[in-house]
Amino acid sequence: MNFKDHFSNHADLYAKARPHYPEALFDWLAAEAPARGCAWDAGCGNGQAGIALAQRFERVIATDPSEQQLAKAAAHPRIEYRNEPRNFSAGDGAGYHTSIDTDSIDAVTVAQALHWFDLPAFIAEVRRVAKPGALFAAWCYAHCNVTPAVDTVVAHLYDDVLGAYWSSERKLVDEGYASLDIPFAPVAAPAFEMRVDWTARQLLAYLASWSAAQKYLKTTGRDAIAAITDELLAAWHDPEHVRRVHWTLAMRAGRVE
């Protein structure tokens, strides 16, 4: 399997620990799509976005090259999960090919995954499968915010402890996909945020789901999250106290002509 796979080995943790996207995001996607026939969720992972799309579109094709991620995806009568494509990593020259019918898709979504793709090849596939006027929307999120004290600990983990263990593609997330060449007519999107109410342990589980945290563990044999746990709990004060955690979503949306 020729793709940069950073999540299959901890697919269960990823499915349990990641926050959910706001319903308003999917309401907007459905409203902007020219029709609500079929949506393609590319790089669907455990199907989080696909489930929300299936509540608004007649059919959803959700694709991901990771069998382990798809194994954690929730079944839905309107979703067809496909373990494809097998070759798509950024810069590998292998292309991005799916079994989706030509001119069949009303909306293409990519949630927290576009930075892993061979973008020119993926864009070519989007042009093939999308109906004229179809909506393209790719979004990502980087740093979360809790309190200044907690944010300082998380930033230390992100930059100082794990900095060397992030893949090069991560910089695209940090910049909110701003430098990516998306050759579709731009569609302005409202501001969206993810918000969850978590205990300190729930935040720690989320941090453990980071690809860099897993790479650090595999490379060094040490648990980076365990190393900052006491510091984070101290910043949290009462570890059982529920705090609001939020992330700003960065969106690149366009109309496929």
Provide the pLDDT for residue 69.
84
2 in any annotated domain: no
137 in any annotated domain: yes
| Two structure tokens written together for 158 | 């992100």
- Per the structure, the count of domains in the chain is 1
Largest CA distance in the chain: 55
Rounded Cα gap, residues 31 and 57, in angstroms: 11
Rounded Cα gap, residues 20 and 246, in angstroms: 11
Provide the pLDDT for residue 3.
43
Provide the pLDDT for residue 68.
86
The residues with which 198 forms a beta bridge, in sequence order, are: 243
Provide the pLDDT for residue 94.
53
- Residue-range definition of the domain harbouring residue 74: 8-256
3 in any annotated domain: no
Through-space distance between the first and last CA atoms of the chain, rounded to whole angstroms: 32
1 in any annotated domain: no
**Can you give the three-state secondary structure of the chain, one letter per residue?**
CECCCCCHHHHHHHHHHCCCCCHHHHHHHHHHCCCCCEEEEECCCCCHHHHHHHCCCCEEEEECCCHHHHHCCCCCCCEEEECCCCECECCCCCCCCCCCCCCCEEEEEEECCHHHECHHHHHHHHHHHEEEEEEEEEEEEEEEECCHHHHHHHHHHHHHHCHHHCCCCHHHHHCCCCCCCCCCEECCCCCCEEEEEECHHHHHHHHHCCHHHHHHHHHHCCCHHHHHHHHHHHHHCCCCCCEEEEEEEEEEEEEEC
223 in any annotated domain: yes
Rounded Cα gap, residues 70 and 138, in angstroms: 20
Candidates 26, 5, 10, 86; CA nearest to 249 is 26
Q: Environment class of residue 233 by beta-carbon count within 10 Å: exposed (0-12), middle (13-18) or buried (19+)?
A: middle
241 in any annotated domain: yes
pLDDT, one tens digit for every residue, the chain (257 residues)? 344 444 444 445 555 677 899 999 999 999 999 999 999 999 999 899 999 999 999 999 999 998 888 998 999 999 999 999 865 554 444 567 899 999 999 999 999 999 989 999 999 999 999 999 999 999 999 999 999 999 999 999 999 999 999 999 999 999 999 999 999 999 999 999 999 999 999 999 999 999 899 999 999 999 999 999 999 999 999 999 999 999 999 999 999 98
Output the domain CATH number for residue 151. Answer: 3.40.50.150
Radius of gyration of the chain (CA): 18
61 in any annotated domain: yes
219 in any annotated domain: yes
Name every residue whose Cβ is closer than 8 Å to that of residue 57 and which is 6 or more positions away in sequence: 30, 33, 36, 37, 38, 39, 78, 106, 107
